Structure 1
Amino acid sequence: MRTIGAVIFEGFEMLDYFGPLEMFAMHRDQFKIIAVGEAAKPVTSSGGPAVVPDATFADGDRYDVLLVPGGKGVRAEIENAAMLEWLRAASAGAEVVTSVCTGSALLARAGLLNGHAATTNKLAFDWVREVSQTDAVDWRRSARWVKDGKFYTSSGVSAGTDVSLQVIADLLGEEAAQGAAFWAEYEANRDADNDPFALEE
């Protein structure tokens, strides 16, 4: 059984978070999902509903898979030293590190994407490149998601559900990914290089 550390912060985007987790939850015998927050108090999403963390940064737990959503709250979190430090520490022991939407800005700001290819929300693409404060990331504008080593970064919002299916395929096999999508009645975009929402540079 693999543990998924799904980080939450004030203003996280709901579909960035719950879309991928729904896919992982289709294989409850393979994945244990843990919501991780900076503190043991409810965290309000961008849409309003709050989530209570199962664990905190201070617990120092190891996770096999990390999920880092985006959302409006990223704009504050990129200046949050505790968040960046936790991402560095948690990523070191993780088998897979996944970001959705502008969550890749947090990984990049933490220095974790240096030397890697990555993508992000296309409407926020230039902003993410700017706030990452590094030229060491190969940002891919047209990608739906990018897999580079253990790092999986996706485009905006619904793309997180697509990249989670790729993670499932890589960890459990293609049949498991197809099964999760079928059970959820979700028609996935499985073409990593084709984001229909990509904008001209």
Structure 2
Amino acid sequence: MTEPLRVAFLLFPNVTQLDLTGPVQVLSRLGDARLDLVWKTLEPVPTDAGFSILPTATLAEIPRADILCVPGGFGVNGVIADDAVMDWVGAIGREAAWVTSVCTGSLILGAAGLLDGYRAGCHWSQRHMLPLFGAEPVAERVVIDRNRVTGGGVTAGIDFALRLTAILRGEDHARSVQLSFEYDPQPPFDSGSPERAGPDIVAAVQRRTRALVPTRDDDLRALAKRRGYG
């Protein structure tokens, strides 16, 4: 009898909750799989949405996983600065069958040395930072390069999880999961990418982000050097 697939999601303070909960919801329908939300303790972890999520396991309790998934959010730089967490990400990722991320979670994978020479996706606003860690940035919603599957920003986590479900369980299974969630997006505006949103909307989003995290890029460059990149 085979063991269930072990799927480990890194949960961290100030994570973008939909980066995490979108793929968690989809991959929960893999069948014969165990999903864990992993952090340093079992205390509630605050998200960017104003509510907290409970981890199901600590880093020490998850020494291996078949699938590693790392979400993004404004807490990414704090994760990269945390040696214990990064050691865990690197150790799990080096042995996992699938190494995956959503949004700026790919920067964590890169900082852990898991994207050297790989094509990778990221949120459009931080995609330019991927080369810091030896990755080739790709402006696609889901990027698959060997056993690395990286999604673009936030909602792309649902698409990434469906693509991975199709790889692992077959397209019919993935289609049934999509139908069960009635995932049939019809957004009210055609502004889901910087190319379609237009320069004024892009500039407004960038201004709001800079106000929230004014030193994000500079801090990430310093962290990259600390980890032997740049």
TM-score, L = length of structure 2: 0.76
2:132 partner letter? Q
Measure how far apart 1:71 and its partner are: 0.7
Counterpart check, 1:133 vs 2:136: no
Partner of 1:169: 166
Identify which of 193, 198, 202 aligns with 1:197. 193
Identify which of 64, 67, 83 aligns with 2:66. 64
Partner of 1:178: 175
Q: Secondary structure at the match of 1:12?
A: coil
Counterpart check, 1:26 vs 2:29: yes
**102-111 vs 56-65, greater mean Cα deviation:** 56-65
1:80 partner letter? D
Aligned-residue CA RMSD (Å): 1.9
Whether contact under 8 Å (2:26, 2:177) holds in the other structure is: yes
Partner of 1:16: 19
Identify which of 80, 83, 91 aligns with 1:81. 83
Provide the identity percentage: 32
Task: State how far apart, in whole Å, the 1-side matches of 2:76 and 2:8 are.
Answer: 17
Task: State how far apart, in whole Å, the 2-side matches of 1:147 and 1:108 are.
Answer: 15
2:136 partner letter? D
Measure how far apart 1:145 and its partner are: 1.2
Write out aligned runs for 1:33-182 (5 A). 33-126=35-128, 128-129=129-130, 133-134=132-133, 136-140=134-138, 142-182=139-179
Q: Secondary structure at the match of 1:175?
A: helix
Task: State how far apart, in whole Å, the 1-side matches of 2:194 and 2:117 are.
Answer: 23
Measure how far apart 1:25 and its partner are: 1.7
Cα gap change, 1:81/1:199 in structure 2, threshold over 3 Å: closer, same or farther?
farther
Measure how far apart 1:39 and its partner are: 2.0
**Per-residue deviation, residues 120-149 of structure 1 (Å, max 9, x unmatched):** 0002222x33xx633x21111x21111111
Task: State how far apart, in whole Å, the 2-side matches of 1:177 and 1:111 are.
Answer: 30
- What is the number of equivalent residue pairs in this alignment? 188
TM-score, L = length of structure 1: 0.87
Cα gap change, 1:104/1:31 in structure 2, threshold over 3 Å: closer, same or farther?
same
- Unmatched tracts of structure 1, length 5 or more: 189-195
Whether contact under 8 Å (2:151, 2:160) holds in the other structure is: yes
> Which structure's CA Rg is the greater one?
2
1:133 partner letter? L
Task: State how far apart, in whole Å, the 1-side matches of 2:154 and 2:43 are.
Answer: 25
Task: State how far apart, in whole Å, the 2-side matches of 1:122 and 1:15 are.
Answer: 16
Partner of 2:5: 2
Whether contact under 8 Å (1:26, 1:183) holds in the other structure is: no
**Per-residue deviation, residues 151-178 of structure 1 (Å, max 9, x unmatched):** 1111000001101101000001011111
Q: Secondary structure at the match of 1:11?
A: coil
Q: Secondary structure at the match of 1:32?
A: strand
**52-61 vs 33-42, greater mean Cα deviation:** 52-61
Whether contact under 8 Å (1:122, 1:199) holds in the other structure is: no
